[in-house]
Amino acid sequence: MPPHALSQQEIDARLADLPGWSAEGDRLTREYRLDSHFAAAAMVVHIARVQDELDHHSDLTLGYRSVTLSVTTHSAGGAVTERDVQLARRVQALAPGHGAT
């Protein structure tokens, strides 16, 4: 059975305590700005570790001093699910300052 797709109301409620995250169509997105390219690359490695632990992989974009995530659940038809929110929470917890933009 595929994971349950969250309604927009459910998504909004879950994003209330995830600063900087937003719902864009069928995905959750977040860009983190870091102090250096090395810090951004290191964050990608940490995120990849979390993704492997959760067996839930998002699209990651590494910029000069930024990391952008785009998270969706393909097994739910490309919708936002609790799995996406769980990944967002784990990434937020390891992000510098937890609310960095």
pLDDT tens, 5-47?
999 999 999 999 999 999 998 999 999 999 999 999 999 999 9
pLDDT band at residue 95 using 50, 70 and 90 as cut-offs: confident
Output the pLDDT for position 2.
Answer: 73
pLDDT at 100: 45
Contact 88, 58 (CB under 8 A): no
pTM for the full predicted model: 0.89
Among residues of the chain, what percentage have pLDDT more than 90? 80
Task: Give dist(CA 75, CA 91) in Å, integer.
Answer: 21
Distance in angstroms (rounded) separating the CA atoms of residues 91 and 69: 10
Amino acid at 95: A
Residue-range domain boundaries for the chain: 8-94
Q: What is the pLDDT of residue 19?
A: 93
Domain 8-94, second-level architecture: 2-Layer Sandwich (3.30)
Paired tokens of 97: 């300052």
30, 69 Cβ separation under 8 angstroms:
yes
